[in-house]
Chain A
Amino acid sequence: MPEVGSRSVLARAEFPAFLGAIRAAGYEIVGPTVRDGAIVYGPISTPEDLPEGWTDRQDAGQYRLERRSDRALFGYNVGPHSWKKYLFPSRERLFTAHRDGDSFRIAPEPVEERRLAYLGVRACELAAIRIQDRVFVGGAAVDPGYAHRRDNVLLVAVQCGQAGGTCFCASMGTGPAVTDGYDLALTELLRDGRHEFLVDVGTRRGAAVVDGVPMRAAGPDDVRAMQACVARATQSMGRTLDTTGIHDLLVSRPESPEWDDVGRRCLACTNCTMACPTCFCHSTEEVPDLAAERVERWRRWDSCFNLGFSELHTGSVRVTTPTRYRQWLTHKLATWYDQFGSSGCVGCGRCITWCPVGIDITAEVRAIRSAPERRPEAKAP
């Protein structure tokens, strides 16, 4: 069995065997696949399910797929889905209460039997998973569903060889290099007519999966090629975000005229919060059956951009779009530190790409830095 920390090289021809080994270890594979003109996450059975030879072109409010000149399996960045689709599903039943005379009995949720392997987790996504871990299993209360799925997932990371038009993971310190938090990490290497993958073994679980998969030991050339990939990705970042003093900056500018500015453009459509891999806000609702014999409590994604999100008996606290945008941005980049000890942003760029009006979080931070603290008062002539 390969050692943890060891590096091997897998030939493209053996990629089906690699997928087979993951399945033989008891995992269902989910990963990137082309659907409806985008690269989304779905079931993967064979390498043909992967976006072979595709890349993505992303900019503010823009996303399209383009053909590559090679046949790379992972030659793109991230699409509208994130792994929270599986770890923190958009709808999840928390429990079922059965009528028991005048009272009720809680039936525990059946433990999910299936184990998933996430194939193609980028560095920014590993960071996002770490951030959501802190919310759902890192505090005083542990979410059993999330904890179970998290404990049983196989994380197969993929090193980015290029950055996307809206990527800024380098600014957020979350990439592009995949450093830890994975069971296995792949770097796709296309050179001299060869198509191979450098395989990093991160954990014993990962080692057990690839035990027996035909690979050769990695040599210094292979490692150099991997480092060149990382360098290419680092140099091609589509965006930058200056994080200098960002917590105090945002917390101290509640009256910035920029909030009104962006608030006028923002549609409060909640695309950004749905696409964001770290957004965790959710609501609960109770669903009785017709005979009122059973009541299910469900959890579903919510968004701070919704008017009712901040509702009190006297009305909502954040009535206008500017106040809601301020809440989202300040939380994501500043007060997340106060609440969870880190930034909430991993620089994946999804909120920029998927905003229908092209609002760019990196540009907004720049605007707030340069805007006055508050709208200047009209002066008497």
Chain B
Amino acid sequence: MSINSEPSSGSAHAPAGEPPLAPIPYTVLTRTVDTPDTITLSLAPTGSARLAPFVPGQFNMLSRLGHGEAAISISGDPTRPYVLLHTIRLAGLGTQAIASATPGTVLAVRGPYGRGWPLDRARGKDVVVVAGGLGLPPLRPLIYEVFRRRSEFGRFEVIYGARTPSDLVFYSELQQWRYRSDSRFQVTVDAAGRDWYGDVGLVTLRIPDARFDGPNTVAFLCGPEIMMRFAGEALAARGVPPEEIWVSMERNMKCGIGQCGHCQLGPYLLCRDGPVLRYRELAPLFRIRGL
């Protein structure tokens, strides 16, 4: 089934006798602590082997050999695929081992996998990005793309919310983006202390008054599933067609190549049919508990 126009890229056929899509060594260049539980690593090829260029919205499988693999979104600039950025949330042992890697450590990487954000559909239209918490890293490559191809699109609205100010990722970059005259960035948090003078309130509250022409808009969403459900509804209420609201979904991943069955979400294998799916297809699935 064809859901969007972006093809799944990433090498597939390994030569006979070679392991299935064997990982390639990548060395950690830098390690940045974004929030108390989020780390961004930049990686560069250790040797001559390197991954194919990626499309915004795709992910790689990263591993600190011996500690297990994890699917991590690529969060960097797609026009500079030599150095890969990955923003990792500390969850289990696998992600903790990866996130604790210091510069010089070699990680095993394979990818890129998945269908990315279909930005071409937004040509000539307004672009709205709604990100919640750790939903911003998979959207950052898209934001860079929009900046690069700015004249192709109408208005550009970004609404980003996190739980508290200390949970905002890419904070200094956000501050720079807010000064751009060609885009509008709204940053909000769920709750804050006395030292926060920014907005407080869920991202969904910012949608009714955001500046975009609903029927002529393509929206890209990523964040906690419940938040995406309400954000999708709020966007649809503003007239954005449900088939032009794109959501990046998350499920447990093991193989990344459509063979292990873990990433199923109803009829979809997220590593192959997603992780970016259309709100129109997702809306009925959102309501099913424990799908």
Contacts and interface: CB of A to CB of B under 8 A. Distances in A.
Chains A and B in contact, CB within 8 Å: yes
Interface of A: 94-95, 97, 102-104, 106, 108-109, 111, 135-136, 139-145, 148, 251, 254-255, 280-288, 292, 295, 302, 304, 309-313, 317-320, 323, 326-327, 331, 335, 338-339
6 contacts: A103-B46, A136-B259, A282-B261, A286-B68, A317-B291, A323-B290
Contacts of B266: 251, 335
A282 B262 CA distance: 8
A85 B92 CA distance: 31
Nearest to A99: B65
Interface of B: 1, 8, 12-14, 16-23, 25, 27, 46-47, 63, 65-69, 89, 91-92, 95, 104-106, 108, 250-252, 254-255, 257-262, 264, 266-269, 272, 288-291
Given A103-B25, A143-B20, A323-B289, A335 B267 contact: yes
B7 to A, nearest CB: 10
Nearest to A136: B259
A287 B69 CA distance: 12
B269 A144 contact: no
A142 B290 CA distance: 31
A271 B105 CA distance: 42
Nearest to A338: B267
Nearest to B261: A281
Given A284-B260, A288-B66, A295-B65, A144 B290 contact: no
**Majority-rule SS of B interface residues:** loop
Contacts of B272: 139-140
B290 A319 contact: yes
B20 A141 contact: yes
B291 A109 contact: no
B258 A285 contact: no
A283 B106 contact: no
Contacts of A312: 91, 250-252
Contact of B13 (A142, A288, A295): A142
B1 A338 contact: yes
B26 to A, nearest CB: 9
Contact of A144 (B14, B89, B255): B14
Given A281-B261, A310-B252, A104 B19 contact: no
Contacts of A335: 264, 266-267
B16 A148 contact: yes
Given A286-B67, A313-B91, A317-B291, 10 more contacts: A102-B46, A102-B104, A102-B106, A140-B8, A148-B16, A251-B266, A310-B251, A310-B262, A317-B252, A317-B290
A106 B23 contact: yes
Nearest to A335: B267
B19 A283 contact: no
B9 to A, nearest CB: 10
Most buried by A among B21, B47, B289, B290: B290
| 5 shortest interchain CB distances as A-B pairs | A313-B91, A338-B267, A323-B290, A281-B261, A95-B19
A94 B110 CA distance: 14
Contact of B69 (A143, A280, A284): A284
A142 B20 CA distance: 7
Nearest to A317: B290
Given A140-B8, A312-B252, A313-B92, A108 B18 contact: yes
A326 B46 CA distance: 45
A104 B65 contact: yes
A282 B260 contact: yes
